[in-house]
Structure 1
Amino acid sequence: MYSNSPHGYGSTQNNYQQYQDTDLAIQTAAATPHQLVLMLFNGLMDELVRARSHIAAKRFEKKVTSINKCIDILNALTSALDYERGGDLSLQLAGLYDYCVYRLYDASDKLSVELLDEVAVILGNIRGGWEGMGTQHG
């Protein structure tokens, strides 16, 4: 009735995941482009923390999944840049996102939490800039 698991936890976990997915869909539908970028950054930063913990705990398959999610989010951020209106800033951000992607590949290959930390600092600074833009326009 609840799940195939002997403890019946599977259904509860699936329901919680469905709730989270629905909540995210509602937030996304109502978000401005600026808020969407911040949502991507928040997800990216959360996933970097997960990747770091997977490396530290030697959960290598989960590490690969987390690193790939980070790279997918960085690619989404790159594709969302407006090069016409953003000019040099958009080009600089694209370069930083590319650099972070390469560092993530290195971190994954070398199992390096230090490289993940470097990426987290760079992206944390960029996210801070986006957050600052939101307070100016809000």
Structure 2
Amino acid sequence: MLNEYDPFNAYKQTALDARVASANPHEMVRMLLDGLLEEIERTSGYMERQSYEDKGKSVNKCLNIVHGLDSMLDLENGGEVAITLNRLYDYCSRQLVTASVENSVTELTPVIKVITDVRAGWANLN
């Protein structure tokens, strides 16, 4: 039986917690976007392996990240940028659900494209 305590994962979690604690809002968004792209990659692997339970958990993580990104938007003061991001995040949520229901890696492609483009935009905000 494997030990539930994994020192490597504990180290990774501690490092992530430290990064989050010291991140400003722009860095936090970039971290979430990076995490979302990584989780979509895991989702794709679960789909290909037909590991449905893991796929479901992974899609749920993706949706939670997208909803977290959306909740950070200031729709009252953010202007057209916030409204556009809100629409893009809504589209990504719907597309993730479609990909999950259809167990289709192909349906993840538009989400990857949108999030990669949003990530590139955030990277230029230094």
CA distance in 1, matches of 2:21, 2:103: 37
Question: By how many angstroms is 1:57 displaced?
Answer: 0.9
The equivalent of 2:12 in structure 1 is 20
Find the counterpart in structure 1 of residue 51 from structure 2. 59
- Residue equivalent to 1:69: 61
1:10 and 2:6 aligned: no
2:27 matches 1:35: yes
Larger radius of gyration: 1
Name structure 1 gaps, 5 residues minimum: none
CA drift of 1:20 comes to 1.1
**C-alpha RMSD of the superposition:** 1.2
TM-score by length of 2: 0.95
Please name the residue that 1:128 is paired with.
120
Give me the TM-score of the superposition, normalised by structure 1. 0.87
Query: In the TM superposition, what is the alpha-carbon distance from 1:27 to its structure 2 partner?
Result: 0.6
Q: How high is the sequence identity, in percent, across the aligned residues?
A: 35
**Higher RCO (CA < 8 A, seq sep 6+):** 2
The SS at the match of 1:52 is helix
1:94 to 68, 86, 103: 86
1:49 equivalent in structure 2: 41
Matches of 2:104 and 2:110 in 1, distance apart?
10
Name the one with the larger helix percent: 1
Aligned residues: 126
